[in-house]
Amino acid sequence: DIQMTQSPSSLSASVGDRVTITCRASQGISTYVNWYQQKPGKAPNFLIFAASSLQSGVPSRFSGSGSGADFTLTISSLQPEDIATYYCQQSYTTPYTFGQGTKLEI
Amino acid sequence: EVQLVESGGGLVKPGGSLRLSCAASGFTFSIYSMTWVRQAPGKGLEWVSFISISGSDIYYADSVKGRFTMSRDNAKNSVYLQMNSLRAEDTAVYYCASSGNYGGNNPFDNWGQGTLVTVSS
């Protein structure tokens, strides 16, 4: 199985900060990485597919990059509504594993 | 508006069974793969199962293989998860999600609100 390892596990930042979350796959997976945002008590929300493509309706302050085994999710200017837990997920092969999550706090 | 509505969760004893349903609306269900993802209390997301558009290809996490069965009914715009031999570690919120084809990638693009399954004596 492909392991997805996110860092950090938690992150404290201020409004307006640039925030970067990293995700490392245990093997090369091209750009088959997706990112999700989950707010407390809510279902996950789909943000980015294929490592760097923004889903329709997602604010442009979110961006993704990477290929192979190393990926990043960046929020260019943190907003209060971005407080959530973020998950990467690989869709290269089953089982479609998720990272352990990064909890973002202000 | 895309909607996925799960039902069928509840309290069940270890070794028991439950059948989850997910009703889809607001999109062309028959051209989407579907998936189940679960989240144990206070924990992260765990992929459970995936079914292709026609239902001919179904995949499971090792943790549920042989105990869970995913199926779909395109005429009813629904997917199902039959869960047998339930264990305490299956306790979680179960989400169904659509899985669109994004240039060969299959992210989970729309999610239901989830249904809670509690396995306890």
Asked, as a colleague might, if the bond just before B107 is cis with ω within 30 of 0, I would say: no
Using a CB-CB cut-off of 8 Å, the residues of chain A touching B112 are 43
Mean local confidence (pLDDT), A88-104: 96
- pLDDT for the residue numbered B105: 85
The band of A65, judged by pLDDT with boundaries at 50, 70 and 90, is very high
Residue A95, preceding peptide bond in cis (omega within 30° of 0): yes
Q: Which residue out of B4, B39, B45 would a mutagenesis test of the A interface target, given it has the greatest number of A Cβ atoms within 10 Å?
A: B45
**What pLDDT score was predicted for residue A106?**
85
Give chain B's residues under pLDDT 50: none
Q: Which of B50, B62, B95 sits opposite A96 (nearest CB)?
A: B50
Q: B74: number of CA atoms within 13 Å, CB side?
A: 12
From chain B, pick out residues whose CB is under 8 angstroms from the CB of A49. Answer: 102, 105, 107, 109
What the block records as the tokens of B20 is: 């989850």
Rg of chain A in Å (alpha carbons): 13
Which 3 state secondary structure label does DSSP give B9?
Answer: coil
Q: Report d(CA B32, CA B98) in Å as an integer.
A: 6
pLDDT in tens, A20-49: 999 999 999 999 999 999 999 999 999 999
CA distances from A86 to B33, B73, B76 (A): 23, 32, 33
Closest to A5 in 3D by CA, of A99, A91, A84, A106: A99
Q: Which residue has the tokens 């990477």?
A: A66
DSSP letter string, A82-99: G-EEEEEEE-SSSS--B-
The pLDDT mean for chain A works out to 96
Interchain CB distance below 8 Å, A96 and B46? no
Q: Are strands B18-25 and B33-39 parallel, antiparallel or unpaired?
A: unpaired
The pLDDT assigned to A6 comes to: 98
> Do residues B49 and B81 make contact, with C-beta atoms less than 8 angstroms apart?
yes
B99, β-bridge pairs: B33, B108
Q: Which of B45, B62, B95 sits opposite A87 (nearest CB)?
A: B45
Please enumerate residues of A whose Cβ is less than 8 A from a Cβ of B. 1, 31-32, 34, 36, 38, 43-46, 49-50, 53, 55, 85, 87, 89, 91, 94-101
pLDDT tens-digit map of A74-84:
999 999 999 99
Name B29's Cβ contacts closer than 8 Å, sequence gap at least 6: B74, B77, B98
Q: How would you classify residue B114: left for phi > 0, otherwise alpha for psi between -120 and 50, otherwise beta?
A: left
